[in-house]
Amino acid sequence: MSKVLYRHNVSHDLPRAVAGDGAWIIDDQGRRYLDASGGAAVSCLGHSNEAIRKAMVDQVESLAYAHTRFFTTSPMEEFADLLVDAAPDPLTKVWFTSGGSEAIEAALKITRQYFFEIGETDRRFIVGRRQGYHGSTTGALSAGGNAWRRRIFEPILLETTHHIGPCYPYRHMRADETLEAYGRRTADELEAKVAELGPGNVAAFMAETVVGSSIGTQPPAPGYFKRIREICDRHGILLILDEVMCGMGRTGTRFAFEEEGVVPDMCALAKGLSAGYAPFGALLIAEKIHRAIENGSKTVMHGHTFMGHALGCTAALAAQRYIDDNNLLEAVRQRGAYLERRLKECFGQHPNVGDIRGRGLFWSLELVADRNTQAPFPPAAGLSMKIKDTAMENGLICYPMNGVADGRQGEVVMLAPPFIISEEEIDLIVERLSQTLDTVLAANAKAAA
Residue 135 CB, nearest approach to ligand PLP (Å): 3
Q: Measured between alpha carbons, how far is 377 from 410 in angstroms, rounded to an integer?
A: 6
Closest CA to 328 of 291, 354, 294, 361: 361
The one segment of 21-29, 240-248, 300-308, 405-413 that binds ligand PLP by CB under 6 A: 240-248
DSSP, res 209: S
Q: Which residue is nearest to ligand PLP (CB)?
A: 100
Q: Which is nearer to ligand PLP, 133 or 257 (CB)?
A: 133
In one letter, which amino acid is 383? L
Q: How far is the CB of 146 from ligand PLP (least distance, A)?
A: 10
Q: Is the Cβ–Cβ distance between 164 and 197 less than 8 Å?
A: no
Q: Considering the rule CB under 6 A, would residue 105 count as an interface residue with ligand PLP?
A: no
Max CA separation in the chain (angstroms): 68
Contact region with ligand PLP (CB under 6 A), list: 82-90, 98-106, 171-179, 396-404: 98-106
- 3-state SS assignment for residue 233: helix
Nearer to ligand PLP, 166 or 194 (CB): 166
What is the closest distance, in whole angstroms, from the C-beta atom of residue 65 to ligand PLP in the complex? 20
Site size toward ligand PLP (CB under 6 A) is 15
- The span from the first CA to the last CA of the chain, in angstroms, equals 37
Q: Tell me: does residue 40 bind ligand PLP (CB under 6 A).
A: yes
Q: How far apart are CA 113 and CA 206, in angstroms?
A: 16
Q: Of 167 and 194, which CB lies nearer to ligand PLP in the complex structure?
A: 167
Length of the chain: 449
At closest approach, how far in Å is the CB of 238 from ligand PLP? 17
Q: What x/- string results for residues 285 through 314 when contact with ligand PLP is judged by CB under 6 A? A: ------------------------------
Stretch that binds ligand PLP, among 131-139, 194-202, 285-293, 308-316 (CB under 6 A): 131-139
The order of strands in the sheet holding 281-286 is 91-97, 281-286, 266-269, 238-242, 202-208, 125-129, 161-164
Subset of 173-232 contacting ligand PLP (CB under 6 A)? 208, 212-213
- Least separation in angstroms between residue 100's CB and ligand PLP is 2
Element of type H or E holding 388: helix 383-393
Could you tell me which residues are beta bridge partners of residue 126? 161, 204
Please tell me the distance from the alpha carbon of residue 418 to that of residue 362, in angstroms, as a whole number: 10
Q: Which string of b and e fits 279-307 if b means at least 16 CB within 10 Å?
A: bbbbbbbbeebbbbbeeeeeeeebeeebb
Specify the stretch interacting with ligand PLP by CB under 6 A; choose among 44-52, 67-75, 197-205, 241-249.
241-249
User: Which residues lie across from 17 on neighbouring strands?
Assistant: 27
Interface residue with ligand PLP among 231, 270, 273, 283 (CB under 6 A) is 270
- Pick from 38, 100, 272, 276: which binds ligand PLP (CB under 6 A)? 100
Residues 6+ apart with CB under 8 A from 393: none
What is the per-residue burial (b if ≥16 Cβ within 10 Å, else e) of 323-349?
beeeebbebbbebbebbbebbeebbee
List 134, 162, 250, 432, residue binding ligand PLP (CB under 6 A): 134
Q: How far apart are CA 17 and CA 138, in angstroms?
A: 30
Among 135, 276, 312, 376, binds ligand PLP (CB under 6 A): 135
Provide φ and ψ at 293, rounded to 5°. Answer: -70, -40
Instruction: Name the DSSP class of 130.
Output: B
The whole-angstrom separation of Cα 200 and Cα 194 is 9
Contacts of ligand PLP in 327-386 (CB under 6 A): none
Give the one residue of 202, 244, 275, 383 binding ligand PLP; rule: CB under 6 A: 244
In the complex with ligand PLP, the residue whose CB is nearer, 40 or 443, is 40
3-state secondary structure of 389: helix
Q: Quick one: 211 or 346, whose CB is closer to ligand PLP?
A: 211
Residue 99 binding ligand PLP, by CB under 6 A: yes
Look at residues 397, 381, 370, 355 and name the one whose alpha carbon lies nearest to residue 41: 397
Of 132-140, 172-180, 229-237, 362-370, which segment contacts ligand PLP by CB under 6 A?
Answer: 132-140
Beta carbon nearer to ligand PLP, 75 or 272: 272
Question: Nearest approach, Cβ of 200 to ligand PLP (angstroms)?
Answer: 28
Query: How near is the Cβ of 174 to ligand PLP at its closest, in Å?
Result: 27
Q: Alpha-carbon distance 122 to 112, whole Å?
A: 10
Name residues contacting ligand PLP, limited to 389-428 (CB under 6 A): none
Q: Which stretch binds ligand PLP (CB under 6 A): 147-155, 181-189, 239-247, 254-262?
A: 239-247
Binding site for ligand PLP (CB under 6 A): 40, 99-101, 104, 133-135, 208, 212-213, 242, 244-245, 270
